[in-house]
Amino acid sequence: MATLLELFDEYGCDKGSLKHRYDRIYQPQFIAIKDEPLNILEIGVFKGASVSVWLKYFPNATIYCIDIFDRVAAEDIEVLRDERVNWINHDTTASSLAGAIRTAWPDIKFDIIVDDGAHWHPAIKDTFVNCFPFLSESGSYYIEDVYNMDLPHVAEHIQTDSWLKKQSHRFSVALWNEMMYNITQHTVEHFDLTLSDPYDIIYDSYIIKVTQ
């Protein structure tokens, strides 16, 4: 069976060698449960590369997806037509999301939630508030590409990275602290802040793992 890194690279997903190397975090945590009949939610689809990876790596899982499909139309993403994939078009930061999830997928609880949607702090916070209640009791909620404004070199990175610089008004120490306070207030027992080193040079972003 292929590793997550091999699958990320095979499907051209930036969670692998192309950029983030998130396989270093996910592979050790997912390998023991990869054959279980899981419900997996991914927030943010883009071209569907990571959805294809989850389908291949978790052969007995059902994959759920939420996106606003403003970059790539849903009908143009072939993997969304797979019989094990379910999706809805919705803004995960909107207060109406819970109702949309309950309507589309009644009584659903997710074993894994991966937030690969909008990466700025207010969006992460609102998405978490809306989606965390749908996490199963033993599930894990992963937030990708989180930038810690408490670290000076991260703030400097945001001012030099072309995409992040355009979004710089959505990143600040105050917004980081508000987001982190909100996340910790919603956890029952503990939460884990896991560092990801995507470039082997500098810690410029995090994955946050939240469990109940």
CB within 8 Å of 120: residues ≥ 6 apart: 167, 170, 171, 175
The model's pTM: 0.92
The side-by-side arrangement of strands in the sheet containing 39-43 is 85-89, 62-67, 39-43, 110-115, 135-146, 205-211, 190-196
pLDDT level of residue 207 (50, 70, 90 thresholds): confident
Residue 192 to residue 184: CA distance in whole angstroms: 10
CB atoms within 10 A of CB 33: 14
Distance of CA 119 to the CA centre of its chain: 9
CA neighbor of 193 nearest in space, from 133, 179, 126, 134: 179
In tens, the pLDDT along 60-119 reads 999 999 999 999 999 999 999 999 999 999 999 999 999 999 999 999 999 999 999 999
Mean pLDDT for all residues in the chain? 90
**Could you tell me the pLDDT band of residue 204, with boundaries at 50, 70 and 90?**
low
Written as one letter, the residue type at 185 is Q
